[in-house]
């Protein structure tokens, strides 16, 4: 260990972790080998979560990295008990309440303001976020997101007073002056423009006029599709109506036979998909007794009706007519300059937008703009940011759109998952944990094998190295369990296909959004530079040397390792004195029998063409390798760090590989003696033993070695 500053260490993972003390020593490398064996057949639930990879920078007059010395309570141990929303989150009623106060003394020209809840917690080195409002113009459209945005951005919101009649081109100049001024002050930081409907047109126009500026655009249901919307016919109707005719926004919204009734439902955010039947069914499921449901629905209706006077004040008749004409001119301006936009774009599209054809428009914009991604919200309405189930911060993090500098840095720009984000992740994978019931074992310093993850080192850098089972599903319980039990976030090193958008995608190519959750959890694309950053930032990282070839193995290749001949990761880990944790896992490979493997599919003409097409569009990895390991799409092009002990590194590499194989053999042997391996046996045991629902109370095989 002294020779190259690397060692293997006690491990943990997704199921039986077994560890054995290695007595051999390779030259100057002493092996304290605590091996991690993982099986996805039985259930263990841990007690922790971690955010080890992030060292937040606090800049008061200079940048100083501070590490927490006190031990924080582990609020992630029981995900079911984590509140669904943060304590300081605001709601729709807060939006209307603050709108009422804002427009009461309204007047003057458009102006910027910074929400109080955003200004207290933001550090000076965070990027600037400018919110450009939609048709309401208040600038409060992100009120439900301020509590989280303020931890990552300096937030400014544009307020356009109700009686203001500033034309679109002048609004563009107001935003542009601010953008240029702030870019001059901080030329090395990006500026985020978050625009909703007409605000999206503003953002596009400003970006087109400043193609050399580092701008990041997040656009919600852009109004560039106004010419195709149901709102356009309303302009001549409002223009020809006499002034004494009682028509304003609430009056129009009360016409249940028109599409404007849906506008109210969208605007209030009370029912995200404008489907009252679905809301009623949700209430039946969530709220219980029918009398209680009726009472709460009546209260909701009363609350909705109380918002109508505020809506009348926000968008009175003449203001509504002005805003519709503003939408018309903004749409024309935005469309005319699309060709000049060079900024990075993220379009948020609602599947049930009753005001604009947003779904079709997002596809059109993606084809027209060079650097554009889409996130679809199938059940959401037009006013996306006022819906409870939409989290702008999580969306930005999942799309890898958050950065403080010119380029995204996987170490310094990473923001660990919040408790609510982890809860949503845990809820989404609960079926996997229930189906697999993973049990985890680890080895303590004295060589004793114990149930749980006590053998994992808390301090990084740490590198988990193991076997990739079929389709790689073992990653889900592995990462989740380590987070819950040990308060440690393990960051995966993943295939670049999970990070690079493919133009003209066709099935079976996955959507880039399918991998947002792994990016929120800290996964990074495989590269020597990213691996270097993870190790240098003392992170816990997860690596599968067998890659795609191992995860998509053929018939009869269960539990077979496909590792390269070169000791790629050992030398990089040695450079930073990282602890290497070999781990094994069993169970998943036994769940399904492979019917058609790669060799079979290549014999089917249309499938062969499909595979070749997808492969040709995917990043080529390990192009210099030979043998079976070269037949995969995932590889880590390691930095070549020449060490004098290269032979010892190779020997350690082979030792780690043999330990992983030993873990698998250990687990396969032990599980044969498990009387509760069968799902029915476990269910019967739980039914006859009250309080046994926790995985720690489930019986398992003996772990005595």
What would the pLDDT profile of 408-423 be if each residue is shown by its tens digit? 999 899 999 998 999 9
pLDDT of residue 145: 95
DSSP notation for 348-403:
EEETT-SSS-HHHHHHHHHHHSSSEEEEEETT--S-GGGSTT--HHHHHHHTT---
User: Residue 6: pLDDT above 70?
Assistant: no
* Higher-scoring residue by pLDDT: 656, 637: 656
Q: What is the mean pLDDT of residues 420-437?
A: 83
pLDDT at 511: 81
Judge whether residue 254 has pLDDT over 60: no
For the residues 8-25, what does the mean pLDDT come to? Answer: 33
- Region 310-332 average pLDDT: 87
Q: Identify the pLDDT of residue 262.
A: 45
> How many percent of the chain have pLDDT more than 70?
68
Looking only at the bridges linking them, the beta strands covering 344-350 and 215-220 are: parallel
| Residue 501, helix vs strand vs coil | coil
What is the predicted pLDDT for the residue at 438? 81
- Could you tell me if 274 and 262 are in contact, meaning their C-beta atoms sit under 8 angstroms apart? yes
Least confident of 85-89, 122-126, 282-286, 373-377: 282-286
Q: Which pTM was predicted?
A: 0.78
- 8 Å CB contact between 461 and 534: yes
**Could you report the per-residue pLDDT of 479-528, keeping only the tens digit for each?**
988 999 999 999 999 888 788 776 666 666 778 888 899 999 999 998 88
DSSP assignment of 640-659 equals: ----TTHHHHHHHHHHHHHH
- pLDDT value for 5: 36
pLDDT mean across residues, the chain: 76
Mean pLDDT across the stretch 310-322? Answer: 82
Q: Over 80: is that where the pLDDT of 26 sits?
A: no
* Mean pLDDT for the stretch of residues 426-454: 83
Report residue 599's pLDDT band, with 50, 70 and 90 as the boundaries.
Answer: confident
Top-ranked range on mean pLDDT: pick from 430-434, 534-538, 673-677: 534-538
Report how far apart, in Å, the C-alpha atoms of 249 and of each of 134, 192, 252, 301, 318 are.
Answer: 15, 31, 5, 18, 10
Please give the pLDDT value at position 344: 95
Residue 222: what pLDDT?
Answer: 97
The pLDDT assigned to 361 comes to 97
Averaged over 599-614, what is the pLDDT?
72
Residues whose CB is less than 8 angstroms from the CB of residue 288 and which lie 6 or more positions away in sequence, other chains included: none
The residues, any chain, with a CB within 8 Å of residue 98's CB and separated by 6 or more, are: 140, 143
Q: Kindly indicate the confidence band of residue 397, based on its pLDDT and cuts at 50, 70 and 90.
A: very high
Token code pair at residue 280: 């009623």
Peptide bond connecting 461 to the previous residue in cis, omega within 30 degrees of 0: yes
- pLDDT class for 85, splitting at 50, 70, 90? confident
Beta strands at 449-451 and 490-494: parallel, antiparallel or unpaired: unpaired
List, in sequence order, the alpha helices (H) in 597-702. 598-601, 605-616, 646-671, 679-688
SS3 annotation, 82-137: CCCCCCCCCCHHHHHHHHHHHHHCCCCCCEEECCHHHHCCCCCCCCEEEEECCCCC
User: Smallest Cα–Cα separation from 559: which of 470, 635, 657, 463?
Assistant: 470
Quote the DSSP letter at residue 71: P
Contact 365, 372 (CB under 8 A): yes
Q: If you count them, how many residues does the chain have?
A: 705
The pLDDT assigned to 622 comes to: 55
579's tokens: 């602890």
Give the DSSP letter of residue 79.
Answer: G
Give CA separation, 156 vs 194, 204, 307, in Å: 10, 18, 26
pLDDT of 163 over the 70 cut: yes
Q: Given the structure tokens 């720690």, which residue do they identify?
A: 696
pLDDT in tens, 271-290: 333 344 444 445 444 444 54
């Amino acid at each position: 260990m002294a020779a190259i500053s690397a060692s293997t260490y006690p491990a943990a993972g997704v199921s039986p972790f077994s560890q054995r003390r290695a007595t051999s020593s390779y030259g100057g490398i002493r092996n304290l080998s605590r091996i991690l064996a993982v099986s996805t057949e039985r259930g263990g639930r841990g007690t922790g979560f971690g955010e080890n990879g992030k060292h937040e920078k606090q800049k008061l007059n200079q940048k100083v990295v501070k590490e927490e010395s006190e031990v924080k309570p582990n609020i992630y141990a029981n995900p079911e008990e984590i509140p669904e929303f943060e304590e300081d989150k605001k709601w729709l009623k807060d939006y209307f309440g603050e709108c009422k106060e804002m427009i009461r003394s309204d007047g003057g020209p458009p102006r910027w303001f910074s929400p109080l809840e955003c200004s207290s917690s933001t550090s000076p080195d965070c990027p600037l976020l400018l919110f450009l409002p939609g048709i309401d113009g208040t600038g409060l459209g992100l009120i439900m997101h301020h509590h989280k945005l303020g931890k990552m951005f300096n937030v400014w919101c544009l307020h356009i007073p109700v009686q203001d009649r500033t034309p679109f081109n002048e609004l563009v100049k107001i935003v542009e002056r601010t953008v240029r001024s702030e870019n001059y002050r901080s030329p090395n930081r990006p500026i985020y423009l978050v625009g909703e409907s007409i605000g999206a047109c503003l953002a596009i126009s400003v970006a087109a006029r400043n193609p050399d500026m580092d701008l990041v655009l997040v656009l919600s249901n852009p109004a560039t599709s106004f010419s195709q919307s149901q709102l356009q016919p309303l302009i001549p109707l409002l223009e020809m109506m006499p002034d004494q005719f009682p028509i304003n926004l609430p009056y129009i919204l009360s016409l249940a036979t028109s599409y404007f009734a849906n506008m109210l439902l969208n605007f209030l955010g009370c029912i995200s998909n404008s489907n009252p039947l679905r809301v009623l069914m949700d209430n039946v499921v969530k709220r219980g007794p029918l009398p209680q449901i009726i009472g709460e629905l009546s209260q909701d209706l009363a609350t909705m009706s109380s918002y109508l006077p505020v809506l009348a004040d926000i968008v009175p008749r003449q203001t509504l007519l002005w805003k519709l004409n503003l939408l018309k001119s903004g749409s024309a301006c935005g469309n005319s300059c699309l060709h000049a936009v060079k900024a990075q774009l993220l379009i948020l599209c609602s599947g049930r937008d009753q005001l604009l054809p947003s779904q079709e428009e997002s596809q059109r914009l993606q084809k027209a703009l060079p650097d554009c991604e889409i996130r679809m919200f199938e059940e959401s309405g037009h006013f996306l940011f006022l819906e409870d189930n939409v989290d702008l911060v999580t969306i930005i993090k999942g799309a890898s759109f958050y950065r403080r500098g010119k380029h995204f840095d996987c170490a310094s720009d990473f923001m660990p998952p919040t408790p609510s984000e982890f809860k949503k992740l845990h809820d989404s994978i609960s079926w996997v944990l229930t189906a697999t019931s993973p049990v985890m074992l680890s080895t303590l310093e004295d060589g004793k094998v114990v149930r749980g993850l006590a053998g994992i080192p808390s301090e990084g850098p740490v590198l988990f190295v193991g076997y990739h089972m079929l389709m790689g599903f073992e990653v889900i319980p592995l990462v989740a369990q380590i987070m819950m039990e040990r308060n440690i976030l393990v960051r995966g090193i993943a295939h670049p296909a999970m990070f690079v958008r493919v133009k003209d995608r066709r099935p079976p190519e996955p959507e880039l959004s399918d991998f947002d959750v792994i990016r929120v959890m800290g996964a990074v694309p495989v590269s020597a530079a990213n691996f270097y950053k993870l190790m240098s930032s003392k992170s816990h990282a997860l690596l599968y040397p067998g890659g795609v070839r191992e995860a998509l193995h053929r018939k009869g290749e269960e539990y077979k390792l496909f590792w390269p001949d070169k000791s790629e990761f050992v030398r990089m880990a040695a450079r930073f004195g990282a602890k290497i944790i070999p781990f094994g896992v069993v169970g998943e490979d036994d769940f399904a029998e492979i019917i058609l493997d790669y060799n079979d599919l290549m014999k089917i003409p249309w499938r062969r063409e499909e595979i070749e097409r997808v492969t040709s569009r995917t990043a080529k990895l390990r192009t210099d390798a030979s043998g079976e390991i070269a037949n995969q799409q995932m590889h880590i092009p390691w930095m070549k760090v020449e060490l004098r002990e290269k032979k010892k590194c190779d020997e350690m590499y082979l030792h780690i590989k043999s330990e992983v194989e030993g873990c698998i053999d250990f687990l396969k042997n032990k599980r044969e003696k498990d009387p509760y391996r069968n799902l029915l046996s476990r269910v019967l045991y739980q039914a006859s033993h009250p309080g046994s629902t926790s995985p720690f109370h489930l019986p398992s095989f003996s772990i005595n070695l």
